[in-house]
Amino acid sequence: MTDFSGKAALVTGGTRGIGFGIAQEIVARGGSVCITARKPEELDEAVKTLDPDGAGRAIAARGSADDEEHQQAAIDEAVATFGRLDFLVNNAAVNPYYGPTIDAELRAVRKIIEVNVVSALSWTQKAWQAWMRDNGGAVVNIASVGGLRAGGPLGTYGMSKAALIYLTKQLSREMAPKVRVNAIAPAVVKTKFARALYEHNEEAVANAYPMKRLGTPDDTAKLTAFLLSDDASWITGETVVIDGGGS
């Protein structure tokens, strides 16, 4: 297990599911973390779980992922509290539409693109300006297998994740050599966000994967931690699929 002692991270959408799992993994490896989300009660509970002794290893910043004032305030708070910002995990995402893309309400499409793509760019710009440009670091974007193949009722969400995968490759070129930028593309992970994809018949969904189970936040957390770590020091611009052998 790579030691993250002395390192600091910011994880958007970090109070549950994949984001919270990543925050837990960073803290378990000795790092510090700032998590963001909209609901104060969820942030308070998550911080207590991440830092039960109140040692200052976890802090929270409340706001909407696509609010630029919130983004800047969260970045500033993380740097002020920890004295650095080594890692950024762009995990926050929305999916207010389920159905054929041809019938999608454009207001919903714009919201999906704004949160899932534009906000990831904005968070990365601010982390770059505040710390990474001069000191280096690593970014991991949480994409999806839906961004790699078309079809099904999540096409609009998949479109946003395809754009995020492209953004990962583009930023990896622009931010090198000091900063590495990678992404992970999970299939169905057992989280509240994804429950509509499996709760109707979890066993059947799981059996579609060669590994015969759904992903867990722990699976995605360990992969993300590897990509953030120095063990992945010659990996950038990649999107790593984690799907139980389903691709």
| pLDDT, tens only, 11-60 | 999 999 999 999 999 999 999 999 999 999 999 999 999 999 999 999 99
Active site residue 166: no
The residue annotated as part of the active site, out of 157, 166, 198, 209, is: 157
Reported confidence tier of residue 239, pLDDT bands at 50, 70, 90: very high
Pick the CATH number of 8-185+216-236 from 3.20.20.70, 3.40.50.720, 3.40.50.10490, 3.40.50.1100: 3.40.50.720
Query: Looking at residue 194, what is its pLDDT?
Result: 78
Q: Is residue 1 pLDDT above 90, yes or no?
A: no
pLDDT for res 196: 74
pLDDT tens digits for 63-96? 999 999 999 999 999 999 999 999 999 999 999 9
pLDDT tens sequence across 122-148: 999 999 999 999 999 999 999 999 999
* 124 within 8 A of 139, measured Cβ to Cβ: yes
Buried b (16+ CB within 10 A) or exposed e, 187-214: bbbbbeebeebbeeeeeebbeebeeeeb
**DSSP characters over 82-120:** HS---EEEE--------S-GGG--HHHHHHHHIIIIIHH
Q: Which residues contact 246 (CB under 8 A, 6 or more apart)?
A: 145, 187, 208, 209, 210
141 touches 167 (CB < 8 A): yes
163-222: pLDDT as tens digits: 999 999 999 999 999 999 999 999 999 888 877 777 788 888 888 889 999 999 999 999
Residue 193 has a pLDDT of: 82
Amino acid 114: pLDDT: 98
